[in-house]
């Protein structure tokens, strides 16, 4: 599709729900044409296959998230994605609701554990590659599994800025 006004550059903040609905309702009809209102009405329109839908843009600017991420990450750990998902699921069975699962990365190994004190405890070890100093981190197991489950690669790589210092 050719742009009507190729010299114009703009940005628009659209709700993800809107984009998902447009993809569901118009995505099967081929190209989707997008139009922004010329006035201050904050409208965006989508057209495909003779069907049209409009929505309001989100007010404001997209947050400057790039500044939230460091320029360098000296610690990297790589582990097989599916093995990690399965291990987190097993270890988290003993974790109470919202209790994090600890991941301790060392050279050649990842140790996962959950539960402390008199609570039920579980631990498991996986093969992992580590570049940089040893590091231990903790994640909510539900969120970790949810994120890892959409990764379609055989391996996942974690990158860290620095190892947490003991209190």
pLDDT at 40: 76
What are the pLDDT digits (tens) for 6-29? 777 778 899 999 999 999 888 887
Q: For 70-160, which CATH superfamily applies?
A: DNA Polymerase III, subunit A, domain 2 (3.10.150.10)
CA-to-CA separations, 65 to 5, 46, 69, 106, in angstroms, rounded: 29, 27, 7, 30
Distance CA 112, CA 130 (A): 15
The pLDDT tens digits of the residues spanning 106-161 come to: 999 999 999 877 777 899 999 999 999 999 999 999 999 999 999 999 999 999 98
- According to the model, what pLDDT value does residue 71 have? 84
Domain with CATH 3.10.150.10 in the chain: 70-160
Q: Give tens-digit pLDDT for 66-79.
A: 888 888 899 999 99
Residue labelled with tokens 């969120």: 143
Q: Which residues pair with 79 in a beta bridge?
A: 128, 156
101: CB partners within 8 A, 6+ apart: 88, 91, 92, 95, 112, 113, 114, 138, 139, 140, 141, 144
pLDDT at 98: 74
pLDDT at 151: 95
Residues of the chain with pLDDT > 90: what percent?
55
What whole-number distance in Å separates Cα of residue 23 and Cα of residue 39?
26
pLDDT at residue 4, rounded to an integer: 66
Q: What is the pLDDT of residue 3?
A: 61
């Amino acid at each position: 599709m050719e742009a009507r006004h190729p010299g114009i550059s703009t940005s628009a903040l659209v709700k993800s729900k809107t984009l998902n609905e447009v993809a569901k309702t118009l995505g099967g009809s081929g190209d989707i044409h997008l139009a922004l209102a010329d006035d201050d009405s904050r409208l965006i329109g989508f057209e495909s296959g003779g069907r049209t839908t409009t929505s309001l843009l989100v007010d404001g600017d997209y947050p400057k998230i790039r500044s939230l991420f460091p320029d360098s990450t000296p610690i990297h750990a790589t582990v097989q994605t599916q093995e990690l998902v399965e291990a987190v699921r097993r270890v988290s069975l003993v974790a109470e609701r919202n209790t994090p699962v600890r991941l301790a990365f060392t050279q050649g190994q990842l140790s996962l554990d959950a539960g402390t004190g008199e609570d039920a405890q579980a631990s498991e070890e996986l093969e992992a590659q580590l570049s940089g100093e040893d590091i231990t981190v903790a994640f909510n197991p539900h969120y970790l599994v949810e994120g890892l489950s959409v990764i379609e690669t055989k391996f996942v790589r974690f990158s860290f800025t620095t190892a947490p210092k003991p209190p």
